[in-house]
Structure 1
Amino acid sequence: MRHWRALMVLGTAQFLMVLDTSVMNVSISRLVEDFDTEVTAIQAVITLYALVMAAFMIIGGRFGDIHGRRRLFLSGLVVYGTGSALTALAPTLWVLALGWSVIEGLGAAMVLPAMAALVAESYRGRDRAVAYGVIGGLAGAGIAVGPLLGGWVTTYLTWRLVFAGEVVVVVAVLCCHRVIKESPRTGPAPRLDGIGAVLSAVGLALGVLGVLQSSTWGWVQPRNPPFTVLGFAPTLFVVGAGVAVLSGFVRWERAREAKGADPLVHLSLLRVPPLRSGLLCLLSQNLILLGLFFTIPLYLQVVQGFDAFRTGLRLLPVSITMLVTSLTAARLGRTLGPRRVVRLALLTLAVAIVWLLATIDPVIDDAQFAAAMAVLGVGMGLLASQLGNVVQSSVGEEERSEAGGLQFTSQNLGSALGTALIGSMLIGALAHAFTADVQNNALLSEQTRQQAGVALEAGVTFVPTDQVRSAAQRAGAPPAEVDALTDSYATAQLDGLRAAILATGAITLASFLVTPHLPAAPGRGRPARPASGAPAGVKGDAE
């Protein structure tokens, strides 16, 4: 048992940082009410959290190489606990964003790459596969506990207690710091590439910001942007600026490697096929999961009118099956090979998403919905059981922190894009369907159509139909037209939800394209990066 003490402490950090994301997702309606804001504002806060982690995860991994992974893990927990305390006390939305999205996000960017590297350093061979299966299981446990615990606390007490409880858990983990061991450093510590750090953070931030704001600004035709570019919405220009900055980052890193200077990340690692495929699968996994975990709670809370606790209960099947599958499926990778397991996972996800699409109706069928969510959890659990070990086993000991940084950058970039992109598609499909139905609805007068058109130009958001009914009544519409507008919006809500879920299905199918380079059989090590930066034939640990 002593052999696994370090894993218990390290895994608690993984559990903690998944927990509060799932709490936020089931608390959307209460947060909107508490801070007197809109769903899109809470979407921005959730996306910012994942974005901060994605932008600074590579930097966090590099700090682990420079200052020591154990030291960075413990320091990151202190930062994370500080952010949790501020979140628990947040009086305004801006303080919530500062405490949760920024400070907690920075703490997580310090903790997670160090945690991944410390797990890889503490365990070898089959034990490492088990350890990463446990880490994936604890992530599943966070997803399992988060909706139910967060839903109950939000409904009957206050969501703030969850973050206050996180402070207590952080203190408890810090008290157990002695069980975490780290091998002494050999050789000089690398230097931080400051310019590369700025370029990577700015590039990622601009790209995700553009995707996030697309629901407000519009993609091409301006909807309600603060400015336009040549008459077009600024969205694609902001995304393009992010791509340009990231291209500059790549050129800068290659130039530093060519000169023998320490880069922020050795881009030659991305030429290791299993590592590259593993990172892309991680990005897809989190994009799908967080996109669904943003969309489905909106369906349950806004359309069905469930409170946070009843929402958590209906998310429980996916949480339980993900937890159980991720804990038990590590051995599948040792018998079938990671590639087959990941493909099986994607096929399972595709089935679950098709099933889930069939359940999006005005009145929920609880049995069908629970079954679809359970199958979704199986697919996610299969992925979680394999990908962490694939990434860490694709590199040598010296690249553990860098691989950890890339691993959690991919995960959190997927999370940020999942919430931003799928949320944008949801709002865009809602606006398109509502606009079309209003214009073609024979029950509406020309005056009501014009008033609705003006309201749509100001921006549409995902709100309960009661709010639409009240707004139409305040505008002086006749009762029959109020009912017609409300029915049109309710139909558009379901169309938007189906479009968003369908998009996650398309991403699932596209993910098959990145699986060919995953390890086909167990026990096959991958080359590590030599000093020259090119992949060599030195074997890593077996998956």
Structure 2
Amino acid sequence: MSTTRRWTALAGLCLATLLVMIDNTIVNVALPSISRDLSASMSDLQWVVDAYTLAFAGLLITGGHLGDRFGRRRVLLVGVAGFAVMSVPAALATSTTTLIAARVGLGVFAALVFPATLALLSSVFTIARERAAAFGIWAATAGVAVAIGPVLGGWLIEHSSWASVFWVNLPFAAVVTVVILAVVPAPRPAPAGRVDVLGLVLSVAAMGLLIYSVIEGPRHGWTDIRTIGGFVVAAALLAVFVRGQMRSAHPVLDVRVFADRRFAAASGLIALAFFGLFGFIFLITQYFQAVKGYGTFSAGLHTLPFAVVMAVFSPLAMQAVRLVGVATVAATGSLLMAGGFALVEIAGVDASYWGLIVWSMSAMAAGLALISGPCTHVVMNCLPADKAGAGAAVNDTTREFGGALGVAVLGSVLSSVYASGVADSAVLQRLPDGVRDIAGTSVMAGVEVAQRVPAQFTGPVLDAVRDTFVNGLHQSVWVAVVVAAVAAPAAWIGLRGASADGQMSTVSESPAALETQDSIQPASRSAVVSNVSR
């Protein structure tokens, strides 16, 4: 396969990644509009976000396995087509129930797309240096998509309704399909035995119940029998799954790979990074609109520096790994993210965007870039080529699980502090009980209430709502600060000895050694290379 075609194929796979990753956050700037049009509560809004993540993360292992078994490009194209189809009921939804159900459907097909893109990169790029760069670009694309979503969503909503954030998927999916068919090769799947149906069912049930319990835990209470019961049953299902996979001749996922310290540490670090990121994006888009008063497009545009910094630092991260090692780079990234979150603690209602907020986002983006690409590379290099789909699914599941947890936990802390603050506010206590209850459901509802009270009370009510929201923002972001700070020593310990190619090494590789490595084709991938022709 020619060099030009390899890099063109990378562009096509990155487009497919953008399609499904943008949907993680494009809906965030639409939440205020959805809240008004569909009378959605804060809990409803969290489910509009998390329903996609629940299905997406719960089915990623299955999606990766299906790609390994039936052909990654074939499964990728089915996923893109299904994604486009499910966008229609989402755009036409007239109730939160319908919208949430459609978001589940979108997540199902996204689970076919995401692991296939990363797995195909493993078969397209077989030279170590090129693969490292490709994984870095893919990881940067996944991270940049998080920031592109609010920008694109904001622009669409300012020119149309919130439904446009789903209608845009149709032309996007059509372009992705054409590009994939034109430039991405279809390696033949490795010979496989019988389908491990029980393993697939158990993986979906365990991951689905675990993520559902995480999402609902803050609402029911972490000590509620429903929450504890969900975790216990999920753990039992996961134990049965692991036991079955260790005995299976054709496992869905070779669970023994988690015994590898590097694999486990890299997967966990990705989850922790996206925990903070997704939770923060969920909060900051509401801050921009409710507190700073930005329009939907302006709110999205103000997240753009995140994408720029991520794009700049991602290739630098892969180069830094060759100089100082994965452990140092990832630990530094965790500290940068912790610092970025900590800056939010001094951001009040009147915080300067250019003087403070942009620096906070930039630190987070730089930190994520130092974690995402290097850790993705480590994860993918711990598995043989014929299990690339399963490895990609694990890598992607950690992202989505961490993201779901971030939205659930940070969103719950914010909701609790905000609702309590509204109830205790001296200004808001002057409102009728029913009106005050409405204001306590979400900050956008509070802003709406402020705009409808008599003019002389609008300013004080709006100030009280915004101050209460900012207090909740500060309390919730402390969680992200602690998580990112704890991740730094965990990265340093868990990733020690992992080199740029994912192998164990105690010293930095010299340029000469890297050049030699680039000229060697791993034997385990020779069969794949010979088949990348269809």
Q: Normalising by the residue count of structure 2, what TM-score does the alignment of the two structures yield?
A: 0.85
1:87-236 alignment runs, 5 A limit: 87-99=90-102, 101-124=103-126, 125-176=128-179, 177-194=181-198, 196-219=199-222, 236=224
Q: What is the Cα deviation at residue 259 of structure 1?
A: 3.9
Q: Partner of 1:27: helix, strand, or coil?
A: helix
- 1:353–1:185 distance in 2 versus 1, CA, 3 Å: closer
Residue 486 of structure 2 is matched in structure 1 by: 510
Residue 492 of structure 1 is matched in structure 2 by: 468
Kept in 1: contact 2:246–2:254 (CA 8 A): no
Aligned pairs, how many?
502
One of 442, 462, 474 as aligned partner of 1:461: 442
Kept in 2: contact 1:275–1:391 (CA 8 A): yes
Residue 534 of structure 1 is matched in structure 2 by: none
Is the deviation greater in 269-278 or in 245-254? 245-254
Residue 302 of structure 2 is matched in structure 1 by: 314
Matched, 1:349 2:337: yes
Matched, 1:244 2:246: no
One of 379, 394, 399 as aligned partner of 1:391: 379
Is the deviation greater in 156-165 or in 75-84? 156-165
- 1:355–1:458 distance in 2 versus 1, CA, 3 Å: closer
Q: What is the Cα deviation at residue 202 of structure 1?
A: 3.2
Q: What is the Cα deviation at residue 471 of structure 1?
A: 8.5
- 1:495–1:405 distance in 2 versus 1, CA, 3 Å: same
What is the identity, as a one-letter code, of the residue corresponding to 1:40? S
Task: Report the Cα distance in structure 2 between the residues aligned to 1:345 and 1:257, rounded to whole angstroms.
Answer: 34
Residue 35 of structure 2 is matched in structure 1 by: 32
One of 68, 73, 77 as aligned partner of 1:74: 77
Task: Report the Cα distance in structure 2 between the residues aligned to 1:187 and 1:20, rounded to whole angstroms.
Answer: 34
What is the identity, as a one-letter code, of the residue corresponding to 1:424? S
Task: Report the Cα distance in structure 1 between the residues aligned to 2:428 and 2:193, rounded to whole angstroms.
Answer: 71
Task: Report the Cα distance in structure 1 between the residues aligned to 2:480 and 2:56, rounded to whole angstroms.
Answer: 22
Task: Report the Cα distance in structure 1 between the residues aligned to 2:101 and 2:334, rounded to whole angstroms.
Answer: 36
The alignment's C-alpha RMSD in Å is 3.1
Task: Report the Cα distance in structure 1 between the residues aligned to 2:374 and 2:91, rounded to whole angstroms.
Answer: 35
Task: Report the Cα distance in structure 2 between the residues aligned to 1:501 and 1:260, rounded to whole angstroms.
Answer: 43
Task: Report the Cα distance in structure 1 between the residues aligned to 2:73 and 2:268, rounded to whole angstroms.
Answer: 27
Write the deviation string for residues 459-484 of structure 1: whole angstroms up to 9, x where unpaired. 743335444557888xxxxx88x987
What is the identity, as a one-letter code, of the residue corresponding to 1:105? G
What is the identity, as a one-letter code, of the residue corresponding to 1:334? R
What is the identity, as a one-letter code, of the residue corresponding to 1:517? G
Task: Report the Cα distance in structure 1 between the residues aligned to 2:402 and 2:308, rounded to whole angstroms.
Answer: 22
Task: Report the Cα distance in structure 2 between the residues aligned to 1:215 and 1:253, rounded to whole angstroms.
Answer: 27
Residue 229 of structure 1 is matched in structure 2 by: none
Kept in 2: contact 1:253–1:263 (CA 8 A): no
**Structure 1 residue runs without a partner (length 5+):** 221-235, 474-478, 528-537
Is the deviation greater in 258-267 or in 78-87? 258-267
Kept in 2: contact 1:84–1:104 (CA 8 A): yes
Write the deviation string for residues 451-504 of structure 1: whole angstroms up to 9, x where unpaired. 75996699743335444557888xxxxx88x98776554432221010111111
Kept in 2: contact 1:290–1:418 (CA 8 A): yes
- 1:361–1:148 distance in 2 versus 1, CA, 3 Å: same
Matched, 1:7 2:15: no
Kept in 1: contact 2:67–2:116 (CA 8 A): yes
**Structure 2 residue runs without a partner (length 5+):** 505-521, 526-534
Task: Report the Cα distance in structure 2 between the residues aligned to 1:386 and 1:400, rounded to whole angstroms.
Answer: 17
Task: Report the Cα distance in structure 2 between the residues aligned to 1:258 and 1:297, rounded to whole angstroms.
Answer: 44
Write the deviation string for residues 371-390 of structure 1: whole angstroms up to 9, x where unpaired. 22222221122222222211
What is the identity, as a one-letter code, of the residue corresponding to 1:493? F
Q: Normalising by the residue count of structure 1, what TM-score does the alignment of the two structures yield?
A: 0.84
- 1:418–1:539 distance in 2 versus 1, CA, 3 Å: farther
- 1:465–1:524 distance in 2 versus 1, CA, 3 Å: closer
- 1:47–1:329 distance in 2 versus 1, CA, 3 Å: same
Kept in 2: contact 1:207–1:241 (CA 8 A): no
- 1:83–1:274 distance in 2 versus 1, CA, 3 Å: same
Task: Report the Cα distance in structure 2 between the residues aligned to 1:347 and 1:73, rounded to whole angstroms.
Answer: 36
Task: Report the Cα distance in structure 1 between the residues aligned to 2:482 and 2:240, rounded to whole angstroms.
Answer: 34
One of 262, 283, 286 as aligned partner of 1:274: 262
Task: Report the Cα distance in structure 1 between the residues aligned to 2:66 and 2:271, rounded to whole angstroms.
Answer: 23
Q: Partner of 2:27: helix, strand, or coil?
A: helix
- 1:216–1:362 distance in 2 versus 1, CA, 3 Å: farther
- 1:540–1:454 distance in 2 versus 1, CA, 3 Å: farther
Residue 232 of structure 1 is matched in structure 2 by: none
One of 426, 429, 432 as aligned partner of 2:414: 426
Q: What is the Cα deviation at residue 216 of structure 1?
A: 4.1
Q: What is the Cα deviation at residue 87 of structure 1?
A: 2.6
What is the identity, as a one-letter code, of the residue corresponding to 1:376? M
Task: Report the Cα distance in structure 1 between the residues aligned to 2:428 and 2:96, rounded to whole angstroms.
Answer: 38
Residue 402 of structure 1 is matched in structure 2 by: 390
What is the identity, as a one-letter code, of the residue corresponding to 2:98? V
Identity of aligned residues (%): 24
What is the identity, as a one-letter code, of the residue corresponding to 2:494? H
- 1:141–1:459 distance in 2 versus 1, CA, 3 Å: closer
Q: What is the Cα deviation at residue 517 of structure 1?
A: 2.1
Write the deviation string for residues 431-468 of structure 1: whole angstroms up to 9, x where unpaired. 34444x44xx5x898xx69x759966997433354445
